[in-house]
């Protein structure tokens, strides 16, 4: 699902192509327009700009390479269909500067002979080839330990579903706020929404910030509101946002 610039995130989707250009849903796997006999298929499983997320781990004829940066360690994944998944650690796993790569042995074997040594993951599997960013790696180890102590990926998944559910329920509760992503494709990590009266969005963001609710502005290409509720965001933080949404609606509807 390549990034394309969304033209008008607010208009109601009419037909399928318009739906796709609005990034309001994730197409079913059988709708994907794939090149026959492709060596691999590249996907991004959670899309952070509009807030779309796949709900299944697909299995295709070709191995899948997936950028899972923005949902890594937020849920258990079924890795069967993936040849390689990678995740910049900075969302859920640790500090910026380290990227986690999970690669199938079979997939590793398929490399072209012309691949430079440094760019061949096999090199890094076999030995420590260069000096890695040791402090970020140390922190990722701490985070995985934290996750394991709380009950692992099933436990954090339950927390994440609860957090996202609180926000989507609040958005749906009245027509003061609305979500541009269809049910079934809504991201558990990046909850995006708009205000019916879009003139109020700047005020919403400003007052939120005064309450200590930071970084809620939507991505610069789409605007609106985006709550990125990665693993480190506690339930209490989401509850504070829901409470603010209630108060703002009472004051301005």
Ligand X SMILES: *Cc1c(COP(=O)(O)O)cnc(C)c1O
Q: How far is the CB of 234 from ligand X (least distance, A)?
A: 21
Query: CB-wise, 13 or 97, nearer to ligand X?
Result: 97
Query: CB-wise, 22 or 53, nearer to ligand X?
Result: 53
Among 63-71, 115-123, 138-146, 165-173, the segment contacting ligand X (CB under 6 A): 63-71
Q: How far is the CB of 52 from ligand X (least distance, A)?
A: 11
Query: CB-wise, 3 or 173, nearer to ligand X?
Result: 3
Query: CB-wise, 24 or 92, nearer to ligand X?
Result: 92
69 binds ligand X (CB under 6 A): yes
Q: Tell me the sheet residues that pair with 195.
A: 177
Task: Kindly identify the residues of this chain, within the stretch 79-108, that bind ligand X according to CB under 6 A.
Answer: 88, 90-91
Q: Judged by CB under 6 A, how many residues of this single chain contact ligand X?
A: 8
Q: How far is the CB of 71 from ligand X (least distance, A)?
A: 8
C-alpha distance from residue 94 to each of 28, 72, 99 (Å): 32, 11, 9
Task: State phi, psi for 221 to the nearest 5 degrees.
Answer: -80, -15
74 binds ligand X (CB under 6 A): no
Kindly write out the interface string for residues 19-58 of this chain, putting x where it contacts ligand X by CB under 6 A and - elsewhere. -------------------------x---x----------
- Exactly one of 24, 53, 70, 160 binds ligand X (CB under 6 A); that residue is 70
C-alpha distance from residue 132 to each of 127, 137, 151 (Å): 12, 8, 29
Residue labelled with tokens 């849920």: 75
213/227 Cα distance (integer angstroms): 10
Query: CB-wise, 90 or 207, nearer to ligand X?
Result: 90
230 binds ligand X (CB under 6 A): no
Task: State phi, psi for 139 to the nearest 5 degrees.
Answer: -70, -40
Q: Tell me the sheet residues that pair with 186.
A: 52
Q: How far is the CB of 207 from ligand X (least distance, A)?
A: 26
Instruction: Point out which residues bind ligand X (CB under 6 A).
Output: 44, 48, 67, 69-70, 88, 90-91
């Amino acid at each position: 699902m390549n990034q394309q610039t969304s033209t008008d995130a607010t208009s109601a989707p009419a037909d399928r192509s318009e739906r796709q250009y609005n990034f309001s849903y994730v197409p079913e796997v059988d709708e994907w327009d794939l090149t026959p006999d492709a060596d691999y298929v590249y996907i991004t499983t959670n899309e952070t700009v509009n807030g779309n997320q796949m709900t299944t781990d697909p299995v295709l004829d070709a191995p899948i390479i997936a950028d899972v940066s923005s949902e890594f360690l937020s849920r258990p994944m079924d890795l069967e269909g993936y040849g390689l998944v990678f995740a910049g650690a900075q969302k859920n796993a640790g500090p910026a500067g380290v990227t986690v790569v999970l690669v199938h042995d079979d997939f590793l074997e398929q490399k072209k002979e012309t691949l430079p040594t440094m760019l061949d993951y096999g090199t890094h599997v076999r030995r420590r080839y260069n000096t890695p960013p040791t402090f970020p790696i140390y922190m990722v180890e701490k985070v995985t330990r934290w996750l394991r102590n709380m009950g692992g990926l099933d436990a954090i998944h339950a927390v994440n579903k609860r957090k996202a559910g609180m926000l989507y329920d609040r958005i749906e509760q009245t027509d003061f706020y609305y979500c541009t992503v269809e049910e079934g494709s809504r991201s558990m990590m990046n909850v995006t929404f708009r205000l019916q009266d879009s003139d109020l969005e700047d005020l919403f963001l400003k007052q939120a910030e005064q309450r200590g609710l930071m970084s809620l502005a939507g991505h610069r290409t789409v605007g609106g509101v985006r709550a990125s509720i990665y693993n480190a965001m506690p339930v209490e933080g989401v509850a504070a946002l829901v409470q603010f949404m209630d108060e703002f609606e009472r004051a301005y509807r």
